[in-house]
């Protein structure tokens, strides 16, 4: 499989598949494909796996794509302005925010992951339920805004505004911490808590999330007034 990511802040990934190669994607993520590309929708892993995908913000069904009679291509894109980044997994695990998954090779397994601490799930901005990607192959995830990637050394800590963590390797410890003193909490504009990630491992962050985007656009939306009688 060969892939190409095109675009700037509305990115699309195009996968070129040889006969017999299969990619799996979220229902509705496909943008375009070659005429010989075959589609088959099913509950990958069965009903139980499908229900767990719903819990992570993904769809019950997944769509498989494979070319017939020669090489073919298929393209996928996210549903908000943002970037696409790649994961090359080799029997390793990566924990991602729910609904970040876009598409992957067939050898990638998508499952639930729960935050280990109650406070992290309640105040970390990513919720109690995360996605666990494992197996062997390429996976493509979508984030909102721009991407910042870093590899943390053992014991190295990065603090992030809640909701801006796209994902991290399973070796990274995920927790929260107070943003600062009383004045910082109430007047600093960063909220009460910050997400803390402690290495070792790879971390992927985003510059925006859907909640912040919606908040920024709300003042400019037309107000609908009810016609009372």
Counting DSSP H helices and E strands in the chain, the numbers are 4, 17
Distance of CA 189 to the CA centre of its chain: 25
Whether the per-residue pLDDT at 97 is higher than 60: the answer is yes
At 19-72, the pLDDT tens digits run 999 999 988 889 999 999 999 987 655 444 545 545 445 555 789 999 999 999
Listed residue (61, 51, 53) closest to 29, CA to CA:
61
User: What domains can you pick out in the chain, each with its CATH number?
Assistant: 2-217 (3.60.160.10)
Q: Which residue has the tokens 């990637």?
A: 149
- Return the percentage of the chain with pLDDT > 70, whole number: 76
Between 103 and 215, the more confident residue is: 103
Whether the per-residue pLDDT at 114 is higher than 70: the answer is no
Q: Quick check: pTM over 0.95? A: no
Tell me the HSE value of 163 on the side-chain side, using a 13 A CA sphere.
Answer: 12
Distance of CA 69 to the CA centre of its chain: 33
At 125-152, the pLDDT tens digits run 444 478 889 999 999 999 888 999 999 9
**Residue 67, C-beta contacts closer than 8 angstroms, at least 6 positions apart:** 17, 18, 19, 21, 34, 36, 37, 38
């Amino acid at each position: 499989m060969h892939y190409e990511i095109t675009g700037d802040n509305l990115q699309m990934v195009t996968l070129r598949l040889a006969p017999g190669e299969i990619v799996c994607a979220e229902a509705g993520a496909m943008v375009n494909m070659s005429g010989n590309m075959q589609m088959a929708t099913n509950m990958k892993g069965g009903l139980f796996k499908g229900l767990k995908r719903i819990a992570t913000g993904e769809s019950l069904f997944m769509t498989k794509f494979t070319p017939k009679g020669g090489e073919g291509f298929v393209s996928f894109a996210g549903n908000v302005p943002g970037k696409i980044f790649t994961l090359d997994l080799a029997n390793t695990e990566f924990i991602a925010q729910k609904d970040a998954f876009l598409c992957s090779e067939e050898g990638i397994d998508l499952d639930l992951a729960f935050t280990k601490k109650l406070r992290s799930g309640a105040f970390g901005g990513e919720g109690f339920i995360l996605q666990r990607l494992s197996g062997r192959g390429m996976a493509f995830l979508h984030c909102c805004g721009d991407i910042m990637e870093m590899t943390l050394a053992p014991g190295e800590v990065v603090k992030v505004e809640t909701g801006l963590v796209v994902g991290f390797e399973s070796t990274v410890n995920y927790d929260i911490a107070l943003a600062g003193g009383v004045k910082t909490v109430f007047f600093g504009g960063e909220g009460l808590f910050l997400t803390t990630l402690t290495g070792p491992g790879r971390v992927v962050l985003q510059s925006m999330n859907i909640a912040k985007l919606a908040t920024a656009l709300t003042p400019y939306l037309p107000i609908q007034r009810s016609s009372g009688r």
